[in-house]
Amino acid sequence: MGICLGMQLMCKSSEEGVAQGLNWISASVQRFNFEAQHLRLKVPHMGWNAVDVVKDDPVFDDRSILRRFYFVHSYYVSCHDRDDVLLECNYGQKFVAGFRSKNIWGFQFHPEKSHKFGMEIFKRFLEV
């Protein structure tokens, strides 16, 4: 399980630098930029946000009502394979809030700062 930067490190590349990522998942990391949309959103994206479930998963399924998590990030993951997308969030645009590929999970939010919502993620991850 990768959390925030840990999720981003699992990807192929990042706009944050020139070094390649671990390439464990087919995805790239991009910086939030709202100039083209003329949005006055702050970067980093920081605070509580709801996530939308894209597909069921043992760690995070659609039946869960626990969907509010704490985010703090300036970069977001863009999955090249839509089948890897587990969760999405909206902050000026939709972005991947969680992915899964085989035995690799990544979450852009911070479960450890998300109180009971995050603890449920850790509990389910350990059960899997």
Over residues 78-94, the mean pLDDT reads 96
Q: What is the pLDDT of residues 44-62, one digit of tens each?
A: 999 999 999 999 899 876 6
User: Which residues are registered as beta bridge partners of 73?
Assistant: 45
Over residues 24-39, the mean pLDDT reads 93
**CA–CA dist 122, 26 (Å, integer):** 24
**CA–CA dist 63, 110 (Å, integer):** 21
Q: What is the pLDDT of residues 96-120, one digit of tens each?
A: 999 999 999 999 999 999 998 899 8
Residue 78: per-residue pLDDT: 97
Residue 56: per-residue pLDDT: 86
Q: Long-range contacts for 56-59 (Cβ within 8 Å, ≥24 apart)?
A: 57/86, 57/100, 58/124, 58/127, 58/128, 59/100, 59/105, 59/121, 59/124, 59/125, 59/128
Which sequence spans correspond to the domains of the chain?
2-127
Residue given tokens 């645009």 in the structure block = 93
**CA–CA dist 55, 75 (Å, integer):** 23
CATH level 3 topology of 2-127 = Rossmann fold (3.40.50)
What does pTM read for this prediction? 0.92
Q: Decide if pLDDT at 40 tops 70.
A: yes
Torsion, CA 31, CA 34, CA 35, CA 39, rounded to 10: -160
Residue 81 banded pLDDT, cuts 50, 70, 90: very high
Angstrom CA distances, 41 to 5, 22, 114, stand at 21, 30, 22
**Which residues are part of the catalytic machinery?**
4, 110, 112
